[in-house]
Every structure is written in structure tokens, then in C-alpha cells.
Amino acid sequence: MKHIYLIIGLFLVGLNLTAQKFDLGKVTTEEVSEKVHPKDTAAVAAYLFKDGRTYFEWDGEGHQILVTEVKSKIKIYKKEGYHWANHSIAYYVGGSNKEKVSFSDVAVYNLENGKVVKSKMKSDGEFMEEVNPKWKVRKITLPNVREGSVVEYSYVIRSPFIVAFPIWEFQYKIPVNLVNYNVNLPSIYIYNSSIRGGLAPKITKSNGIGTSKTVESKTNYLLENVPALKDERYVNNIRNYTSLIQHELASAKSANGTITNYAQSWDDVVKNIYDDTDFGQELNYKSYFEEDINAIIAKAGSKDEKINLIFDYVKNRMNWNEINSYSCEKGVKKAYKDKVGNAAEINLMLTAMLRYAGIGANPIILSTRSNGIAFFPSRTAFNYVICGVEIDNGIIFLDATSKNTQPNILPSRALNWFGRIIRENKSSAEVSLDPKLVSKETVSIIATMDDTGKITGKARDQYSEYNAYNFRENFAGLSKDSYVEKLEKKYSGIEIDDYTTTNEKDLTLPVIENFSFGHSGLVEHIGNKIYFSPLLHYTIRQNPFTQETREYPVDFRYPYQDRYLINITIPKGYEVESLPAPISLTMEENIGNFKYNIISSGEQIQLKVSFDMNYSNVSPEYYETLKNFYKGMIEKQNEKVVLKKV
């Protein structure tokens, strides 16, 4: 009996310690006095703990509500970390079923005269913003936040939507001392759970007993000493590599024992999406566009002509409301009439029109770059749809949400690893969204240097593929003066005049810009000599890859090729003393290459530079190769031509 009492006593002590560990309202002098994080002295803030629980409860009408409770305790170390004292939560209010969010225990603690002083949130510290008719955001801001403050808050999300849990993150851009998450599930539901990121939490599972309305299984996820997530250059979305867990409903058992599958496999996901009236049914409507499309395809002689004419028609007629979705909101017929729609309405409309014209078009669902990547069968992981036309040697990708897209030139938001094409028979297949076309930029310059070092000349810059798309997107809506101002800011110190563009409206041709320029800051005088980089204002000064190691793939978005052809007339009374040596650099696996060749003849210096990046994504295992390649390339670009006075 003594042993039993001892075991019970130790168990209760353990429970008490665990409970206290996540208590709010108990801030110590040591916590407020701490100047830097013990494991990350650069941290601007840190989670002392984050504790959460997701479970089900029943409302008064017998419906299940998904409840997520969260408690957070955050330490502020530096001014740059003040924003970690604020928090916001988006929630859905667009239908008869609405989510609810409430904050409590919101306070900030500071050290004053050697004592810990608590300041509660003021009445105006919590407020709500309406994002659109379907979404609201509840926010909190705290008073008296300063270096050294400890911030606490808790919140509860109550949702009638049980298909997916709120995503639980274990990692942030600040360290987390301890993060704890409990999931309680009724036996009638099976959820797919997916942990992603480089950190593995400790998982403890237990099973209970009871009726179908009681919790039957419990899972605890625990992580300690979680390092801050370090952002790196050329990362498509840092959240893709954040350590987190997602839960999505896989199947449910009814009272009579019938099991309904939702997301056990990709086939289940595709079937559920296609059967949704706001998706599959919208592809069947055609009466609203028949007359217009008949007139268009009557002019087309080939399949390619049909595709291009219908694609251009939808782009020109429709205006995207900047809402990402694979599900229609007001429907394709209303969107067509209004000439405004979300991504689903525009691209499902395009798909239906192409099918009507005899083209084998199908929707491709995907997740945008800002939304992350669908790592496991999940309908909630997708938030966008484009159109795909399958041909013998691949797929033609079409997205009519932007006026500047072309076949196989998608908006950058859609370039996110892979999507799933859904065919009329409801079969699906994974498709790579990585661009295969090489986007080119060719710069030609004829310039003259005077004896003061000022360089004047004319530049011609030609853009193709994604470079042309990006130019048109950036140029759209800007006056010429505003764009020139942006260009002068990009190339600091340059003065631009006589700026013109060609083909900015004709998407079938490369965009060409021409301008005159002057620059007085590219040359260094030392004694009777002049030093300058012959790449002029296009010289790359710093290596974007400076970290010792790389955790994430390097994302360039698309393969590209840069060419520079520069002719410089040196000032009279000077001659070339030395030129940089030619060089050719190549990375393994043909990842990329750099060629630099320069010659002089009399008063003329001619430079030819080429830089090819042959992949849109480079694995981190090649990071050292990439880093050293850039180092060699930048060193060469910054080598000087030396002129001496005759």
C-alpha cells in the first residue's frame, strides 16, 4: 500500500508540476530581469512557453464544435521584438455557421523598482477588423511593452468546421523554450496528422473509454528548446519548412456504423472536390458563354489557335478580384456577367470554354506560394486552381487571372512545386509546376567615359518569358516617370533620360526598353590612373549566400539566362593598362555557368558576360557549390579595368 501511495503521490506531483508549467499570471523577477536569451543571444523575443489543446464539445442543438485553446507566455528582449506582444487571429463568418474567437488573461509584466508590475490590456487593446464579408480578424495590442517585458495571453477558437484543425506551429522566427500540444479525439473520427519541418516532437498517446460523445484517444506533442526559424535568401515560403502539425478529417463513422471517407487518399480528396457543387458542377454550365465562344472559334483554324483565342478572350473580359480559391463564390455565370471573379470562377470558366471548343482541358488544383505546400492528401491544403491542357509531350498551363500571363507563363503565386490535375473521370495525377522555359534578359550598352570619370551612354534591355511577364506586371499602372524613378533607385546614382519601351502590350514579343543614362559614381581616380568595373551599374557587389550551411532548397522560381554586351569608349589621353582575365565557371550537375570575356582595341573596351541558372530549384546539398560559384562570379565582376594617363 505504501508503494501505491508513493506512486499516486509522485503522479499527482508530476501533474501539478505540468499544470504549473503552463500557468498564466505567475511571472518571476528572474523572467523579467533576463537580458538575453540563454541559447540565442541575437533573439529579439522568445516564447517562454506555448501550450494548446484541441478537443470537441457539443452545442445545445447536438452539433459538434471544434475547440482550440491556446496559452502563450512571451519574453521581449529588444525593441525589434515589440510586435511579438501583439497577436491576431482570422476567423470565418461568411455563412450560417460561424467561427468565434475570444481572448483572455491578456497582460504585460515589467520590473519597476525591483518588483514585477502587471499591466492589463486596456479596453481599446482588443479590436476586430473585417477583411471581407466572409472573414474577420480579432487583434490584441498591449500597453507598456518595453525591453524586458513578459507578455501573456490566452485565446479560444470555437469552430463548427471539423474538417481541419487550426495548424499548430512548434517553431517561429524567435526561439521557443517549450511548446506543448494536446489533441483529444472522439472514436467516431479518424484524422490524418502530418508533421513537417526538421524537428520531431515527443509524442505520447493514450486511449480512453466511453460513449461516442466522449474522448476516446489523447495525443500529446512536446518540444523543448526549439531554435528560431532563420530566414534565408531565395526561399519560396519559409512556412514550408516550419516545424508544425496539421490534422485533416480522413473518415467519419455514423451512428449506424457507416464510414465516410474524406481524405484517406488523393482519390478521396479529388472526388470530394469534384463533387462539390462550387467546383465540378460549375464546369458543366455552358449556356452563358455559348454564343460568344461560337463566334470566337469560328475564326480559329487549329487547336492552338482555339486555345490562344479563348485564353485571350477570358483574360481580356474577366477581372480577378484577388481572391485565391479553388471553389466558386458567386458562380461562373454571375462572374461572367459581372466580368469579375475569384481564381476558381475565372479558371473554371476557362476550362469549361475550352472543353466546349473540343479541347481536352482540366482544372489543376494547387497551393499558392504564400499558402505553403500540400504534403499529404488534403483538400484544405489547396487554395487555387488553374487550367491545364494535356498534349503529347506535357501540359500547357493556363491562368487567366492576370492580363499578362501566357501559355506556360503562370503568375509567380502559382509556381509552388506541384499541383494535381483533375480529369473529367475524376482521376487525378500530380503535375510539376516548375517552369521549364528559360527566361532571358539581354543588356546591350554603348557608353563613353570622360576624363572626370563620368560615364554616359545608351542602354537596350530585352526581356523574354518570365522576365517579360514580371516587367509587364511591374510596369502596369505606373507612369513612365514613376517607373524611371524605380529604375534609378535600383541602380543607385544613375540618371536616366529618353526612356521608351517597345512591345509592352504585345505578349507574343519580348519587352524592350531603351534609355540614355549618365553615372558619376562608377569610377575611382588614384593618381594618374582610373579604376572601374566594366559591368558598370550591373555589377553584383555582395554574395546572397553567406550562411555557413543551408537548410532549405534555393528557389530561383524559374531557369534564367542573363547576357551583357557592353562597349565602352575610354577618355582621350588614357590607355588600358590592365584588364580582368577571362573566366569560365561551371557548377556540377550543370546547375549553372558564368562566362566573362573582355578585350580592348585602341579606345574601345568590349565586354561579354553570360550567366545561366538552369534549374528553378537547387537542393541544399549543393549549397556549398552554389555559394562558391557566386563568390567566384562576384569577385570577377568586381575586378577593375585600369586606365593610365598617357
Q: Are the CB atoms for 139 and 148 separated by under 8 Å?
A: no
Quote the CA–CA distance of 369 and 617 in Å, as a whole number: 14
Question: Residue 136: what residue type?
Answer: K
The residues with which 137 forms a beta bridge, in sequence order, are 90, 129
Q: At what angle do helices 343-356 and 303-317 cross, to 10 degrees?
A: 150
Query: What amino acid is encoded at 601 in this protein?
Result: S
- Crossing angle of the two packed helices 480-490 and 465-475, in degrees rounded to 10: 120
Question: Which residue type, as a one-letter code, is found at position 248?
Answer: E
Q: Enumerate the H helices of 203-360 as residue ranges.
A: 266-275, 290-297, 303-317, 332-338, 343-356
Q: Label each residue of 398-422 as H, E or C.
A: ECCCCCCCECCECCHHHCCCEEEEE
Closest CA relative to residue 403, chosen from 329, 505, 306, 327: 505
Return d(Cα 527, Cα 523) in angstroms, integer: 13
- The secondary structure of 368-395 as a DSSP string is -GGG----SS-STT--EEEEEEEETTEE
pLDDT of residue 8: 36
Number of other CB atoms surrounding residue 519 within 10 Å? 21
* C-alpha cell at position 634: 562576384
Amino acid 324: pLDDT: 95
Q: What gap in Å lies between CA 457 and CA 445, rounded to an integer?
A: 7
What per-residue confidence (pLDDT) applies to 621? 95
CA distance 81 to 248: 33
Q: How far apart are CA 497 and CA 520, in angstroms?
A: 15
Q: Give the Cα separation of 45 and 68 in Å (integer).
A: 24
Instruction: Tell me which residue of 24, 30, 25 sits closest to 114, measured CA to CA.
Output: 30
* Grid coordinates given for 407: 501559355
Contact status, residue 180 vs residue 121, Cβ threshold 8 Å: no
**Alpha carbon separation from 384 to 282, 312, 379, 639 (Å, rounded):** 15, 20, 11, 47
CB 328, CB 344: distance < 8 Å: yes
Low-confidence ranges of the chain (pLDDT < 70): 1-20, 208-215, 263-264, 375
pLDDT score recorded for residue 104: 95
What domains are there in the chain, each with its CATH number? 27-253 (2.60.40.3140), 266-432 (3.10.620.30), 439-645 (2.60.120.1130)
C-alpha to C-alpha distance for 590 and 570, rounded to whole angstroms: 37
Contact between residue 467 and residue 440 where contact means Cβ atoms under 8 Å apart: yes
H-type alpha helices, 495-639: 623-637
User: E strand or H helix at 261, and its extent?
Assistant: strand 259-261
Binning the chain into helix, strand and coil, the percentages to the nearest 5 are 25, 40, 35
CB neighbour list of residue 31: distance below 8 Å, 6 or more residues apart = 48, 75, 109, 150
546: DSSP letter: -
Q: Which residues pair with 463 in a beta bridge?
A: 441, 511
The DSSP element (H or E) to which 493 belongs, if any, is none
Give CA–CA dist 646/644, Å, rounded. Answer: 6
C-beta of residue 444 within 8 angstroms of C-beta of residue 460? yes
Distances, alpha carbon 62 to alpha carbons 68, 253, 326, 475, 538, in Å: 19, 16, 31, 56, 67
- Cell numbers that stand for 441 in this block: 534578359
| Paired residues of 555 in beta bridges | 617
Distance (Å, rounded) from C-alpha 404 to C-alpha 408? 12
- In this predicted structure, what is the pLDDT of residue 15? 40
Handedness of CA 197, 413, 247, 257 (dihedral sign): negative
Residue showing cell 566594366: 534
Strand order, beta sheet including 494-502: 494-502, 511-519, 455-463, 439-449, 560-569, 604-613, 592-601, 583-586
State pTM to two decimals: 0.82
- The amino acid at residue 114 is G
The pLDDT of residue 19 is 45
